[in-house]
Chains A and B, each alone.
Chain A
């Protein structure tokens, strides 16, 4: 069967209209140079019948149902609640997930077996860094950086969601920064690109996020320093 696929050897049922058969044979052409391009079927009458242009779906909200554990309930965490005079009152609802010892261990890049499959590290768009700031400081710094670059910011559970208002080549650049607590003054932040161009995302991280959070450790997941 594989040999047939590579040769483009297939048969359409007899009830297929000839227009469809012709179009299919141009699409299933094994030669990439003579194969029909994406734009051409759009003009084909048979193809257009009943065709509906789908608008890009809105960025789906990630439902992460991690119940915050109480690893450090022995420590007074009222500091997290009181923000130091920032405009956004909702920072008090940002309760980061506490990491237990096994969570911490699983941060190791050795467990990221996806590396076995990926050729080029520069395509990775995940970053993880640690910071010795409190959760509220992290949130407010992220907000500052985001608003300076015309990003809309939304906070949900333990994640700061940022989305650029301007439409880029691959849609609007959207970035999530999820905060995990090791201790009240020690956090791990995972930054992920949700949509948009990777180059723009990396520029945002290098020129915006990194200088603002001013931390010693910043690694792209799995990368050596």
Chain B
């Protein structure tokens, strides 16, 4: 694997963005973006080696099973794929993961979680959507709760969150609800992202970034 060869293949991949650009616009440093590129390469070549993460490759990475369908994994995939072209490109990958960085703004995490749960992207989390998600979780965990009990759980949550009592949770109601129940956002932070350079040290060899640029970015952190 010569440096020259990988320079060509990297830049010709659609959606590839320079580490320096991504570092400037996300919570990651240049080195961290380079390390993420190693991770991205691994995931995006697992089934189809085209520098893009397909749904099956995403499912394979999360569940170690490319065929496992899951409502929540679908939602995450759709949110990561903000260009909506059915694949996750490197730029999308880094920008989306940035929201999960411990240093990312809380407002971004709150907004991302809201969009995640807004299954039909209406701008609101409707009661039916919440019930659908609870049922999906119970189903995937092989748990059985009576419909009455599920209704009760959904009702109680909705009563607490839907202050305007209009049958749906809007972004403001969500923000208030989350401020009272901060544990709801725990999935929105991956502490591991702070140590990403340790997990993928091989980025050093394939790094294309000049020393001065690395230092410049390190100094701004």
Contacts and interface: CB of A to CB of B under 8 A. Distances in A.
A pairs with B: yes
Interface stretch (B5-13, B14-22, B102-110, B142-150): B142-150
Contacts of A222: 62-63
Contacts of A116: 39, 43, 61-62
A72 B145 CA distance: 15
A116 B39 CA distance: 8
A2 B145 CA distance: 56
Given A110-B76, A224-B65, A105 B215 contact: no
B183 interface: yes
Interface string A40-65: 00000000000000000000000000
Contacts of B207: 2
Contacts of A69: 160, 181
B70 interface: yes
A105 B70 CA distance: 12
Most buried by B among A5, A102, A113, A115: A102
A108 B204 contact: no
B121 to A, nearest CB: 17
Contacts of A10: none
B130 interface: yes
Interface in B195-221: 196, 199, 204-205, 207, 211, 214-215
Given A100-B160, A105-B117, A183-B149, A113 B184 contact: no
Contacts of B76: 110-111, 113
- The secondary structure that dominates the A interface is mixed
Interface in B93-107: 97, 100
B134 interface: yes
A101 B154 contact: yes
A124 B156 CA distance: 34
Given A71-B156, A117-B199, A101 B130 contact: yes
Interface in A90-145: 97, 100-117, 121, 130
Contacts of B140: 108
Contacts of A100: 153, 156-157, 160, 181
A1 B211 contact: yes
A147 interface: no
Contacts of A101: 130, 133-134, 153-154, 156-158
Interface in A154-195: 182-183, 186
Given A101-B130, A105-B72, A186-B145, A115 B153 contact: no
Nearest to B189: A113
Contact of B142 (A102, A110, A217): A217
Contact of A113 (B142, B149, B190): B190
Given A111-B76, A115-B63, A2 B39 contact: no
A225 interface: yes
B92 to A, nearest CB: 14
B39 A108 contact: no
A107 B25 CA distance: 31
Contact of A109 (B62, B133, B204): B62
A179 to B, nearest CB: 14
Contacts of A107: 137, 141
B120 interface: no
A11 interface: no
B186 interface: yes
A96 to B, nearest CB: 13
A105 B133 contact: yes
A5 B153 contact: no
A114 B153 contact: no
A103 B62 contact: no
Contacts of B138: 104
A114 B186 contact: no
Contacts of B152: 72
Closest 3 CB pairs of A and B: A110-B72, A101-B157, A110-B73
7 contacts: A71-B160, A100-B160, A101-B158, A104-B134, A121-B64, A182-B145, A224-B65
